[in-house]
């Protein structure tokens, strides 16, 4: 077998470095066509669970939220919250020992309202409490929501990597179980009953590689696995390039 000459080796190395650069950068930098997923689990014994997906196309997003076990025939405020720890509050978030984690107590964990998942009109922070523009649960307690819109100003697609989806509204906490009633007022607005804004379900968004499984490992899990896939692909391509270089050397 003929030896690989120096020129071929240099060509090969340059090709591999080029391929490696080309493969890794776009995956890490890309925000278009990214899908984020969250498994929503109950808060405050609501019995509400579900899923949320956010698919980006530049600054345009399609958001789907599906929950079951929500308070039937009632409106459910829901938001993408950003700027906290990117997590859902646990029982120890109940700092005032009321027995419930209220909206304010949850903020250090899930952050502030940055996107209001309304059915129409503004999706900005100004719509956080727009009770007449949120989806209503059907008679069985199912909430089905899909909307495509442009991210409000101040929110970037990249922010979704450390974001949390929260759905609100638990009618069974006080007095009549099928209405938002009871004396306690909401911790975010004296105009609303506590039950209307009480966090009912929460889930952290994580990016899902195409064909991948959401392990619920948080935002970085998806990014790491994307990078790993890119590196794996680079190794494969690099191996292929070496074969090509060898073949070329042989044919020279």
Is-contact 186 88, C-beta < 8 A?
A: no
Smallest separation, CB 189 to Cu ion (Å): 12
Is-contact 67 201, C-beta < 8 A?
A: yes
* Residue found under tokens 């619920």: 216
What is the rounded CA–CA span in Å between residue 62 and residue 55?
A: 5
Tell me which residues in 140-169 interact with Cu ion (CB under 5 A): 166
Site string for Cu ion, 16-55 (x = CB under 5 A): ----------------------------------------
Nearer to Cu ion, 76 or 79 (CB): 79
Smallest separation, CB 247 to Cu ion (Å): 59
Looking at the DSSP bridge assignments, the partners of residue 149 are 61
Nearer to Cu ion, 166 or 192 (CB): 166
Tell me which residues in 50-89 interact with Cu ion (CB under 5 A): 79
Q: Is 114 in the site for Cu ion (CB under 5 A)?
A: no
* Count of residues that bind Cu ion according to CB under 5 A: 2
Smallest separation, CB 114 to Cu ion (Å): 10
What is the rounded CA–CA span in Å between residue 75 and residue 234?
A: 49
56: CB partners within 8 A, 6+ apart: 31, 32, 33, 34, 35, 36, 157, 160
Is-contact 79 89, C-beta < 8 A?
A: no
DSSP character at residue 246: H
Nearer to Cu ion, 70 or 166 (CB): 166
15: CB partners within 8 A, 6+ apart: 241, 245
Site string for Cu ion, 163-202 (x = CB under 5 A): ---x------------------------------------
Nearer to Cu ion, 61 or 230 (CB): 61
Smallest separation, CB 168 to Cu ion (Å): 6
Smallest separation, CB 144 to Cu ion (Å): 18
Determine the residue with CB nearest Cu ion: 79
**Diameter over CA atoms, the chain:** 88
Which residue ranges make up the site for Cu ion (CB under 5 A)? Answer: 79, 166
């Amino acid at each position: 077998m003929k030896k690989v000459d120096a020129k071929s080796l240099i060509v090969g190395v340059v090709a591999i470095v080029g391929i490696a650069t080309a493969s890794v950068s776009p995956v890490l930098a890309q925000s278009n066509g990214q899908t984020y997923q969250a498994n929503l689990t109950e808060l405050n014994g609501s019995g509400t669970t579900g899923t949320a997906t956010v698919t980006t196309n530049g600054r345009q997003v399609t958001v789907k939220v599906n929950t079951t076990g929500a308070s039937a025939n009632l409106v459910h405020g829901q938001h993408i919250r950003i700027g906290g720890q990117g997590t859902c509050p646990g029982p120890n978030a109940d700092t005032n020992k009321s027995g419930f984690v209220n909206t304010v107590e949850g903020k250090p964990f899930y952050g502030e309202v940055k996107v209001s998942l309304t059915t129409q009109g503004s999706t900005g922070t100004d719509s956080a409490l727009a009770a007449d523009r949120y989806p209503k649960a059907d008679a069985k307690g199912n909430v089905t929501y899909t909307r495509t819109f442009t991210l409000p100003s101040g929110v970037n697609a990249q922010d979704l990597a450390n974001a949390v989806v929260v759905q609100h509204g638990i009618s069974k906490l006080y007095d009549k179980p099928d209405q938002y009633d009871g004396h306690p007022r909401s911790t975010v607005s004296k105009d609303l009953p506590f039950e209307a804004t009480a966090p009912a379900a929460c889930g952290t968004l994580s990016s899902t590689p195409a064909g991948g499984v959401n392990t619920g490992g948080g935002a970085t899990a998806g990014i790491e696995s994307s990078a790993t896939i890119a590196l794996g692909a680079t190794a494969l391509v690099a191996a292929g390039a070496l074969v090509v270089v060898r073949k070329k050397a042989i044919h020279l």
